[in-house]
Structure 1
């Protein structure tokens, strides 16, 4: 025989509200602790917590009169609370829409001003060309390694300059990625995919 499932928090709140709305009366906590278990199946130990949750949600009002605290809620109270919640959500949605529109406008402006796509293409193209030239120089060095020490020294100097140039252009790409990431809140893999930046791009070792 399966064990009977207990009431969820939302079910308890709904049933507790029914007590208020059906009676349209005022209650002390000790009265609710007697009524709720019998009429709504809410355990006495959880009554205080459920009532306080409804108060926090502005679905039940409470007031201390003398030494006693009274609770009450009318059907119109729930309707008003839902309407207020709806208005709050509409306002929040409107603010989000404004922020989204502003961000989209900023992206358009920044892309037009900085032209990141064109600059990115130039940077990557330059790095690739420098790497190809470096490989060609390596082969040239190998060819003349034993026959022309002066020429080899010249090639070594050019290689050092090329390595420095590769690192400079690589640094420019990293700066551009950092700017796009911080300005448009984009992840690295999204930036690399959007602008065709190689994932293994790194400084020359």
Structure 2
């Protein structure tokens, strides 16, 4: 047997041996993987679930913090809705007429401006120096909300269309309040009110007012009550 033939045979044997070893290693690795998963799979899954729950909890806390910051920014505000934009949009005059309608001899200290798209109608924000002054103004409105019309705010526009004052809620509380009002009209909850930037919800006569941080949280609570 010449040298070349010997080398070819050695190469073939080496290749076959390497393939066999790799195959055996692969099988052993799969077996080890299955054994490890069988022993620790449930623990790994539990850790993954725990991490997921922790991340959700952190996200929920973060949303609460964001809401608190936003609520504090808006807590001294009222929203005046459905007042059209005129060519001479005199917001100071509108506030003077609104204050007179509510029984003020002097216009309360405030800032007033519009937000949103300035096309035909946009929300007017009235910002008071304190929550107390805002609430006093709003309480006067709540005694006769149906009497506030454009005829009062814009005297040159002879219209009995209603306009509205409301609390300046953050997005999440606005969505909760909107849903709660709908549920109250359907008879599914007893009472809804807004206090210090939060929608306060009373599900039944014997229940206390509660604060919710999402519509899902409200849904989950009502499901548990049924």
- Which band: TM-score by shorter chain? 0.3 to 0.5
- TM normalised by structure 1 equals 0.33
> With CA pairs under 8 Å and 6+ residues apart, which has the higher RCO, 1 or 2?
2
Which structure would you say has the larger Rg? 1
- Higher-helix-fraction structure: 1
- Structure number having the greater strand percentage: 2
| TM-score, with length taken from structure 2 | 0.31
